[in-house]
Structure 1
Amino acid sequence: MRWSRGVATALLAAVARTVVAAPAAATGSSSHLMNKRYIEERDGIAYNVFEHRDTGSKMAFVKNSGVCETTPGVNQYSGYFEVGKNMSMWFWFFEARNKPAEAPLVTWFNGGPGCSSMIGLFQEHGPCQFYNNQTEPSLNPWSWNNYANMLYVDQPIGTGFSFGDDPVNSTVTAAPYVWNLLQAFYASFPEYECRDFGVFTESYGGHYGPEFAHYIQAQNAAIDDGSAVGEKLALKAVGINNGWFDSTIQERAGIEFAVGNSYRPLINESVATKLYDVFETRCKPALDKCVATGNDTACADADNICINEIDNPIAAITDFDTYDIRQPSKDPFPPDTYVEFLRRPDVMQKIGAKVRFEACPDAPSVGFGRTGDDARSFLDTLSDVVQTGVQVLLWAGDADYICNWIGNMHVADAVEYPAKAQFNKACMKPYKVGGVAKGKFKTAGNLSFLRVYEAGHEVPYYQPEASLQVFMQVMQGNAPSST
């Protein structure tokens, strides 16, 4: 989910910046220290423990809990990485159902900021889902681990099952902790080294995806020149659905979508005209100030001006769920059955969880709010990533309002890379699965945009077969193509 934008304006505008330094990447190793592995029992749970020499982090996990993934012979691991002092970051890893020794490795991050990746696992593309109002999950035939080894991560600290001190207050400060987690993962599971690697995310992932990919590429370069020690990640692809990348582009697109989407108008032309004027006279100048100064207060103020004077008025006019405009606001969709399931003591015991699950707690997002992170643009960072040649997919369900497909398409059109002119001129073509149209797409070079029909914010929930198909195509280094 993108940040629920409900934090009081006064709080965000009044609080001064609080920055805690993020951990530096390892620049060397102590030859007399060795990685350690052992079994440790904590609160009646037997954890496999791995201590990573280079980062000083520790990993404690349960193997094959029997929860969620029940396909015979498919391994799973769930538990914690210590990515910093008193910082326990939750992960749940599933081997690929087919040829795991050859399959790529993909990391999934939900948005927020501060929303658990268990949302993606249980509601979107994980090995299991809750069907027909059942309280126990069943196998998902369209799970992304049909093709890839999947690593789901709750970050920053305080999100989902992660716990401890949370120094992260921005997308940029989050990236080094994710790198530490991945380094510890590779050290503990060296069999996944040298695989094609993918970063997939959604919503606030419009911030996370570009920055995490950029940081990974920078660390790879540092390893190459000897200024850092670690395992390089063979970044193959980045996929971001319904992302929030750039407020200047996407706040205006919110008005455009509200009046002209293909389902139902949320506002009329008269209201749209007034809101376009508000955008030009109030929202955009504030965002311009945020961009020009980089000041935390200016960026927080800009975010709140745009929310209070554009987004909130639209939401007040028509009753709709911002993540799926076909649904009423009081009946959010899809159902969140997974939350109570993950809070069950027997489930927590099996998977090795230590704290009560919180899907989207307030504390992590408040820290991001203080620095105005939501209003900061990651378009330039996205352009930098595309320019490196990795396959990049921006895609969006067309029933989502909060990070709607029109804004995502405008972002894609604004990416600076060698094939930009060709991309901008390209026509949208039908995207088919087994001959059935599931959306429209365009592509040029290594950048693609896909609009997905009849899908809300969490695209794989609504269109699981199409989502798996495009996921596989992009991870294979290809542009989307119809079947």
Structure 2
Amino acid sequence: MFLKIQVLAISVLAFASTVLSLNIPGGRHSIEERDGVVHNIFEDDATGGTIDFVKNSGVCETTPGVNQYSGYFSVGKNMSMWFWFFEARHNPQSAPLAMWVNGGPGCSSMIGLFQENGPCQFYNNASTPSLNPYSWNEYANMLYVDEPIGTGFSYGTETVNGTVEAAPFVWKLLQSFFKKFPQYECRDFGLFTESYGGHYGPGFAYYFEEQNKAIDAGHLHAEKIDLVALGINNGWYDATIQEKEFINFSVNNSYYPLINQSIADEYLAAYYKGCLPYLQECTAVTGEDTVCSNARTQCGTVDNSFSSYYPDIDFYDIRQPSSAPFPPETYVNYLSDPAIMKAIGAKTNYSECTDSVDDLFGTTGDELSSLVQSGIQVLIWAGDADAVCDWFGGFASTNAIQYSGTSEFVNKTVQNYTVDGVTKGTYKSVENLSWLRVFSSGHEIPAFQPEVALQAFKQTMQKKSISST
């Protein structure tokens, strides 16, 4: 009966701004028209939160029959978190669910959506997007989230200053998502991220697992998140490892030296004197605090003192000049168009990366080890032309993960990773941990090597170690 009423209400939108308002179990649901766009609003009695979204805006995903939803979840007082959800293009009723979160901290997940693995991309200098045949919703239902508050289209009071504090808000968003869209409960769930996602990914996944334990023990009444996979590309995991490995990458990467050996030796000496001691202080404390923030500042000072020796390049892809980086930033102007904003239900101006959304330095990867120990399928991968979170540091951080297969993993030789018989990188896998170095790729792997990215994503979501095809 409710669905019939809803259809009738939509048909009379021209006559009223609020066309349907119903009390339903657990809350109140209404449909409103704002400037010609239909908004669905659900007020949750349990949390006091509100979900406000637009269905099938016609923006980005234009595959016939594929539903999409975009809008806001209220995750706290004056805290509206932006989401954009796309059904799988094939078998959405049974496909797994994956969430994508960009890093920064403070960078929007619309980067991933429009430049990397979303349903549409900007090709050949076009000002409007076209369908992406390698979109990750070819396999999974995809949820993109701008977090924390102040990032991308999210708006409200900015209170989060670390991964530990960010995790509960993302958990609450997922709880609200499952309440409004219960058909996606009990699906295999994957968390994929990049860059500062080296902290976000393990931190969020660890929090989800702890909440699941509380649910199993009867201490928490909530919906379990059936986390089966974690993927992090070009991540920032452990600064004690990666600060040093950046210097090695600068001299010994696959393309050309960014600095000479003499400068590298000076840089390394400065790292040991002016950076490492502060990082060691950070690792001695629990959580994220001023000690770790100070370590970030001290190491940044060392890095900046050597920055003038580096060429004028795009550090996200050292093969490119800084003046014309790929992928293009076309999508930023697109999302700033008032007509597009209205269509998708955005209520604030878009910001790709927000300076005011800051983050304390973060922990050093202990959660990553515990997650691998838990049996979740974990993929750590990196494009080999990225200097921001270079593959040298990612590889060393992966080898440092402690789990039952550590010794075998460290001693295992990498082998070629192929897609349809074509070599695209090198990899190794032991038990539930996989490492992949992607050739000819910058920071945003799916933008540079979409076939590789989709294949590795599917294999990981299938709870398998990655393998060549």
Assess same fold via TM > 0.5. Answer: yes
Equivalent residues in 2 for 1:171-186, closer than 5 Å: 171-186=163-178
CA distance in 2, matches of 1:76, 1:345: 20
Deviation at 1:316, TM superposition (A): 4.0
| Corresponding position: 1:122 with 2:114 | yes
Counterpart of 1:37 (choices 22, 29, 44) is 29
1:419 aligns with 2:412: no
Q: Secondary structure at the match of 1:466?
A: helix
1:464 aligns with 2:457: no
Identity among equivalent pairs (%): 57
Query: How has the CA–CA distance of structure 1 residues 156 and 315 changed in structure 2, closer, same or farther, with 3 Å as cutoff?
Result: farther
User: Is the counterpart of residue 474 in structure 1 residue 460 in structure 2?
Assistant: yes
Quote the offset at 1:44 in angstroms.
Answer: 5.2
In structure 2, C-alpha distance between the alignment counterparts of 1:428 and 1:197, rounded to whole Å: 28
Match of 2:252 in 1: 260
Cα shift at 1:51: 2.3
User: Aligned-pair distance for 1:379?
Assistant: 1.1
Conservation of the 8 A alpha-carbon contact between 2:190 and 2:227: yes
Give the direction of change, closer, same or farther, for the CA distance of 1:51–1:286 in structure 2 (3 Å limit). same
Q: Which residue of 2 aligns with 1:150?
A: 142
Which AA in structure 1 matches 2:141? N
Match of 1:18 in 2: none
Q: Does 1:398 align with 2:391?
A: no
Give the C-alpha shift of residue 312 in structure 1. 5.2
Amino acid at match of 1:232: K
Q: Which moved more, 1:148-157 or 1:306-315?
A: 306-315
Aligned equivalent of 2:437? 451
Task: For residue 57 of structure 1, report the CA deviation from its aligned partner.
Answer: 1.8
Provide the C-alpha distance between the structure 2 equivalents of 1:463 and 1:33, rounded to a whole number of angstroms.
Answer: 46
Q: Which moved more, 1:233-242 or 1:274-283?
A: 274-283
SS in 2 for 1:442: strand
| Inter-CA distance 284–156: structure 2 relative to 1 (3 Å threshold) | same
8 Å contact kept, 2:428–2:436: yes
Q: 1:428 aligns with which of 402, 414, 418?
A: 414
- Mapped contact 1:124–1:459 kept (Cα < 8 A): yes
The answer to whether structure 1 residue 65 and structure 2 residue 57 are counterparts is yes
Deviation at 1:308, TM superposition (A): 2.1
* Equivalent pairs, count: 445
Partner of 1:305: 298
Gaps of 5+ in 1: 1-31
Greater CA deviation, 285-294 or 418-427?
285-294
Aligned-residue Cα RMSD (Å) equals 1.4
Per-residue CA shift, 1:21-68, capped at 9, x if unaligned?
xxxxxxxxxxx9723322134465421112233333211100000000
Report SS of the residue matched to 2:351.
coil
Query: In the alignment, is residue 318 of structure 1 matched against residue 311 of structure 2?
Result: yes
Q: How far is 1:229 from its partner?
A: 1.1
Give secondary structure in 1 for the equivalent of 2:380: strand
Structure 1 segments (4+ residues) deviating >6 Å: none
What pairs up with 1:39-438 in 2 under 5 angstroms? 39-42=31-34, 45-293=37-285, 296-310=289-303, 313-314=306-307, 316-365=309-358, 368=359, 373-374=360-361, 376-438=362-424
- Distance in 2 (CA, whole Å) between partners of 1:312 and 1:186 is 48
How far is 1:188 from its partner? 0.4
In the other structure, the counterpart of 1:7 is none
Would you say the 8 A contact 1:210–1:378 is kept in 2? no
Alpha-carbon shift at residue 353 of structure 1 (Å): 0.5
CA contact (8 A) 1:267 1:314 kept: no
Aligned to 2:19: none
* Separation in structure 1 between the aligned mates of residue 89 and residue 248 of structure 2, nearest angstrom: 42
| Greater strand content | 2
**Residue type of the alignment partner of 1:144:** W
Conserved 8 A contact 2:456-2:466: yes
**Structure 2: how far apart are the matches of 1:379 and 1:296?**
15
AA aligned opposite 1:135: S
In structure 1, what is the Cα distance between the partners aligned to 2:36 and 2:273?
60
Whether contact under 8 Å (1:242, 1:408) holds in the other structure is: yes
- CA contact 2:259–2:309 (8 Å) conserved in 1: no
AA matched with 2:333: E
User: 2: distance between equivalents of 1:71 and 1:199?
Assistant: 24
Q: Secondary structure at the match of 2:52?
A: strand
Alpha-carbon offset, residue 319 of structure 1: 1.6
1:65-101 CA-to-partner distances (Å, cap 9, x unmatched) read 0000000000000000000010000000000000000
Report the residue type matching 1:393 in the other structure: L
Please tell me whether Structure 1 or Structure 2 has the larger radius of gyration of its CA atoms: 2
Checking the alignment, whether the CA contact within 8 Å between 2:283 and 2:364 is kept in structure 1 is: no
| Matched AA of 1:469 | Q
**Contact 1:122 1:129 survives alignment (8 Å):** yes
Give 2:228's aligned amino acid: K
Aligned equivalents of 2:427 and 2:304: distance in 1?
A: 27
Question: C-alpha separation between the residues in 1 aligned to 2:355 and 2:332?
Answer: 16
SS at match of 1:359: coil
Task: Say if 1:258 and 1:314, in contact at 8 Å, map to a contact too.
Answer: no
Structure 1 CA distance, aligned partners of 2:81 and 2:285? 33
Three-state SS of the structure 1 residue aligned to 2:144 is strand
Give the 3-state SS of the residue equivalent to 1:46 in structure 2: strand
What CA deviation, in whole Å up to 9, does each residue of 1:280-304 have, x standing for no partner?
Answer: 1111001112222457333222112
Q: Give the whole-Å Cα distance in 2 for the aligned partners of 1:332 and 1:177.
A: 33
Q: In structure 2, which of residues 423, 426, 429 is the aligned counterpart of residue 440 of structure 1?
A: 426
What's the secondary structure of 2:191's corresponding residue?
A: strand
How far apart in 2 are the matches of 1:125 and 1:168? 27
Query: Which secondary structure does the structure 2 equivalent of 1:363 belong to?
Result: coil
Q: For residues 394-447 of structure 1, what are the alpha-carbon distances to aligned partners after superposition, in whole Å with 9 as ceiling and x for unaligned?
A: 000000001011100111001111111111111101000011000000111101
SS at match of 1:93: strand
Measure, in 1, the Cα distance between the counterparts of 2:72 and 2:275. Answer: 41
Supply the distance in 1 between the matched residues of 2:146 and 2:467 (Cα, whole angstroms). 32
Distance in 1 separating the partners of 2:315 and 2:285: 31
Secondary structure at the aligned position of 2:423 is classed as: strand
Q: Deviations over 1:219-271 (max 9, x none)?
A: 11111111111110110100000000111000001101001000110011111
